[in-house]
Amino acid sequence: MGGVLRLNDQSHRQVAIARWRSEIALLPQKPVIIPGTVADNLLYPLHTFGIQKERLDERHESLPNAETLEKELHSVGLHDIRLEREAGSLSGGQQARLSLIRLLLTQPQIILADEPTAGVDKAASELVLDRLQRFCEQGGAVLLTSHVYAEQVNEAKIVLEAQSIKT
């Protein structure tokens, strides 16, 4: 069995691995939180990965300011979370939403989201799904796995059941 992965009509053999990693982002079910504040966690990939700096330079943009970070936190229901708060003190559901915003700030084209609503209540789940929907409306794509909210996603679906695949 074989095949070719494509990104913007280019074969995976033509695209540098660093480019793949900057364009396709994984949102794991269990978030990874680094020691430090909420702001440290949000800005970590922007400080760490050179490809993001290149993108910002190309667009003549700078790193997001505190107002932008707070607006993003509010978009997923984290109104009461201060940027100075220790990220490790957040609940699991809050950490998951923080992880989503951190990923979105890197501006990928494709998000692979593994159960992005796991560990959050129904209201927060709706905010997460709405935020992912907005990402799609802005030109991004999301491949989402979910046991709970599959019927709310109104785009193309692939349903795995036993040994068969339904589209």
Encoding tokens for residue 151?
Answer: 């019927």
Q: Which residue has the tokens 């540098």?
A: 16
Q: How far apart (Å, rounded) are the C-alpha atoms in residues 152 and 146?
A: 10
Whether 157 maps to a domain, the answer reads yes
Q: How many percent of the chain have pLDDT more than 70?
A: 77
Whether 34 maps to a domain, the answer reads yes
Whether 1 maps to a domain, the answer reads no
Q: How many domains does the chain have?
A: 1
Per-residue pLDDT of 30-82, as tens digits, reads: 999 999 999 999 999 877 765 556 666 666 667 789 999 999 999 999 999 99
In 10 A of CB 158, how many CB atoms?
Answer: 9
> What CATH number is associated with residue 121?
3.40.50.300
Per-residue pLDDT of 87-116, as tens digits, reads: 999 999 999 999 999 999 988 999 999 999
Angle between helix 92-105 and helix 38-48 axes, rounded to 10 deg: 30
Termini Cα distance of the chain = 21
Domain that holds residue 32: 6-166
Whether 103 maps to a domain, the answer reads yes
- What pLDDT band is residue 162 in, cutting at 50, 70 and 90? low
